[in-house]
Amino acid sequence: MSTRSYIGISDDLFGTNEARCLYCQFDGYLEGVGSTLFKCYNSEALADSLTAKGSLDSLRETREKCDWYDEEDKPFRVKFDSESKDRYQDVFHMIDYRYVYDRKTQKWYEVEATRFFKFPAYLPLENLLKAVLERKEEA
C-alpha cells in the first residue's frame, strides 16, 4: 500500500485555491515527502523545478535522485475546493496529502480538505513537522 500525495506550487494559494501539481506515489506522509520538501526543496526555485514536469514514485533529496514514475508527464492544475475533480480521481478521497509551495508567502503548506467543506485549510508545513517531532519526543 502507498501513501499518495500531490506536490505543487502556486502563485497565490490563498487567493486562488489552485496549484500546478505533480503526483507522488509513495511516502506522502509528513515524515516522508513533507520532511523532504521542507529540508531539500524549501525555496521557490527548487519547488518550481521539482513541479515543472513528471510524476514520482518516490521523492528524494534532489530532483536528479528522485524515482520518476513518468518524468515526461505534464504537471496539472488542481483547484482545492469541494467542486473539483482531477485526473487521479477525487482530490479529497484518493490523495492522502497535498503539499503546495506558495510563491507569495514563500512557504510550504499541507492542504487539509474534505468534500464537506467548500474551502480547504492551509497548514504551514513547518508547524506540522514541529508538532510531529514534539510528539515523538514525548513518546
How far apart (Å, rounded) are the C-alpha atoms in residues 75 and 78?
Answer: 10
Q: Which letter does DSSP use for residue 33 in this model?
A: I
CA-closest candidate to residue 69, choices 61, 60, 58: 58
CB 98 within 8 A of CB 113: yes
The residue among 28 and 86 whose pLDDT is bigger is 28
pLDDT at 92: 52
**Cβ burial 35-59 (10 Å sphere, 16+ → b, else e):** bbbbebbeeeebbeebbeebbbebb
pLDDT of residue 78 exceeding 70, the answer is: yes
Per-residue pLDDT tens digits for 45-74:
999 999 998 799 999 999 999 999 877 788
